[in-house]
Amino acid sequence: MPSIETTDWLAIKARLDGLVTVPEMSWFEPGALVTPPSDASGPTPFILVSDIVNDPVRIGISARGESGVDHIRSGTLLLTVQWPIARPVTHAQLREVAGQIAAHFSADTRMSYGSSKLRVQQDATVVQPYVEGAYRVSIVRVSWRSV
């Protein structure tokens, strides 16, 4: 049986698997060795995924019987859009792509896998795009917690 940490990630991953962007972009799991995708025109945009998990917060005596105490688990999912500078995009277009991703993680979106039941705490936020190296970058921040 997988650990709660694993089922939390699998709940988030299941939601990511349903993400549709225009243009279509592949995404890479945390820690993946990334070979940036490309097509006949050169490098294409993609998404890097990071999941920062907070320490569990103890909320009291367990409703789960002999398992001890209940805890709230939470974290921040960071979805980093990497848009190659060689591929033209306006500031507004890049914000729109990030906005499409943020809309996929609106407030109260439920994510579950096995014993993990997670909820998006508030509408996802889009960080102001910036340039880093050969990419225009925009980050979507998703706050989640267990329910």
Q: pLDDT digit string (tens) for 21-62?
A: 999 999 999 999 999 999 999 999 999 999 999 999 988 765
Length of the chain: 147
Comparing C-alpha atoms, which of 110, 118, 17, 14 is closest to residue 75? Answer: 118
Helix (H, G, I), strand (E, B) or coil at 143: strand
- CATH dotted code for 4-31+42-56+71-146: 3.30.2000.20
Note the pLDDT of residue 51: 96
Note the pLDDT of residue 1: 81
Residue 130 has φ and ψ, to the nearest 5°, of -145, 170
Is residue 121's pLDDT more than 90? Answer: yes
Band of residue 96 on the pLDDT scale cut at 50, 70, 90: very high
Question: How far is it, in rounded angstroms, from Cα 142 to Cα 80?
Answer: 11
Give the strand pairing for 57-61 and 69-72: antiparallel
Q: The whole model's pTM is what?
A: 0.91
